[in-house]
């Protein structure tokens, strides 16, 4: 933690109620005391949001939220481990998407959703949100698994080495020359055709 001291030359006397506070903060205890009302004025205040029959917030979390949320968290962590998200920084697996999908489908207030499992991009509120704010297209390095990426890289490298062979270079140059001659020949044919 860094402590910042104010330059005493910049402070004005009215900041300190005309008292000399060279090394204290800009607020004096007296000025703070004047701004706050006493707690005794609020002793009869009752929270309108709380009802007498409601449980403690911690009890509510323990009874209502955590029995649904914690198994979903656990399943999300297992899915993240299966997708190697814990090893690779960027991947196609989104923990928030996975968690939202699980919570939507396992909502105890909607038991019909547990029978008809809905993927994340088919959920109504997700559809409307993605229409308003579409996601950017992920790069292929995020979408491919390691084995898929290895196949693509290996095929590109093999193709490069094959194209580098002298026989292939000779064949490619032959086809380039032939296609140019063909284009020139067609141009002369089309010119003669229209004359």
| Contact residues for 78 (Cβ-Cβ < 8 A; gap 6+) | none
From the list 29, 52, 108, 102, the residue with the least C-alpha distance to 72 is: 102
Regarding whether 135 and 150 lie in a shared domain, the answer is no
85: domain range?
57-139
Regarding whether 132 and 167 lie in a shared domain, the answer is no
Q: Tens of pLDDT along 18-34?
A: 444 444 444 444 544 55
Regarding whether 118 and 72 lie in a shared domain, the answer is yes
Q: Tens of pLDDT along 48-71?
A: 555 555 668 888 888 888 999 999
**Both tokens assigned to 77:** 């962590």
| Contact residues for 114 (Cβ-Cβ < 8 A; gap 6+) | 105, 106
SS3 at position 58: helix
**Could you give the percent of the chain with pLDDT greater than 90?**
36
Regarding whether 66 and 114 lie in a shared domain, the answer is yes
Cα(108)–Cα(8) distance, rounded to whole angstroms?
62
Q: Does some domain include residue 61? A: yes
Regarding whether 96 and 130 lie in a shared domain, the answer is yes
Q: Tens of pLDDT along 149-160?
A: 999 999 999 999
Cα(107)–Cα(67) distance, rounded to whole angstroms?
11
Regarding whether 63 and 116 lie in a shared domain, the answer is yes
Q: Does some domain include residue 172? A: yes
Regarding whether 169 and 103 lie in a shared domain, the answer is no
Regarding whether 89 and 129 lie in a shared domain, the answer is yes
Whether residue 108 is predicted with pLDDT greater than 80 in this model: the reply is yes
Q: Does some domain include residue 77? A: yes
Whether residue 186 is predicted with pLDDT greater than 60 in this model: the reply is yes
- At residue 146, the pLDDT reads 82
Q: Does some domain include residue 47? A: no
Per-residue pLDDT averaged across 3-11, rounded?
Answer: 50
Q: Does some domain include residue 97? A: yes
Annotate 151-180 with b (16+ C-beta within 10 A) or e (fewer): eeeeeeeeeeeeeeeeeeeeeeeeeeeeee
Structural domain count, the chain: 3
Whether residue 119 is predicted with pLDDT greater than 70 in this model: the reply is yes
From the list 115, 112, 103, 116, the residue with the least C-alpha distance to 67 is: 103
Q: Does some domain include residue 110? A: yes
Q: Does some domain include residue 50? A: no
Regarding whether 129 and 61 lie in a shared domain, the answer is yes
**Cβ(165)–Cβ(173) below 8 Å:** no
Q: Which of 77-81, 119-123, 180-184 has the lowest mean pLDDT?
A: 180-184
Q: Does some domain include residue 52? A: no
Cα(20)–Cα(166) distance, rounded to whole angstroms?
91
């Amino acid at each position: 933690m860094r402590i910042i001291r104010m330059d005493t030359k910049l402070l004005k006397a009215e900041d300190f109620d005309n008292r000399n506070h060279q090394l204290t903060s800009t607020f004096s205890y007296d000025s703070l005391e004047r701004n706050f009302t006493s707690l005794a004025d609020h002793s009869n205040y009752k929270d309108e949001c709380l009802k007498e029959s409601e449980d403690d917030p911690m009890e509510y979390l323990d009874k209502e939220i955590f029995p649904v949320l914690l198994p979903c968290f656990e399943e999300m962590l297992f899915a993240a481990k299966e997708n190697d998200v814990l090893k690779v920084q960027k991947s196609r697996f989104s923990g928030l998407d996975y968690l939202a999908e699980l919570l939507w489908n396992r909502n105890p207030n909607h038991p019909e959703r547990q029978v008809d499992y809905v993927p994340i991009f088919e959920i109504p509120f997700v559809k409307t949100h993605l229409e308003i704010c579409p996601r950017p297209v992920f790069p292929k390095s995020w979408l491919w698994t390691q084995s898929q990426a290895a196949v693509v890289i290996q095929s590109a490298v093999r193709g490069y080495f094959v194209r580098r062979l002298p026989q292939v270079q000779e064949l490619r140059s032959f086809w380039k020359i032939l296609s140019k001659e063909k284009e020139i020949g067609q141009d002369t044919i089309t010119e003669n055709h229209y004359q």
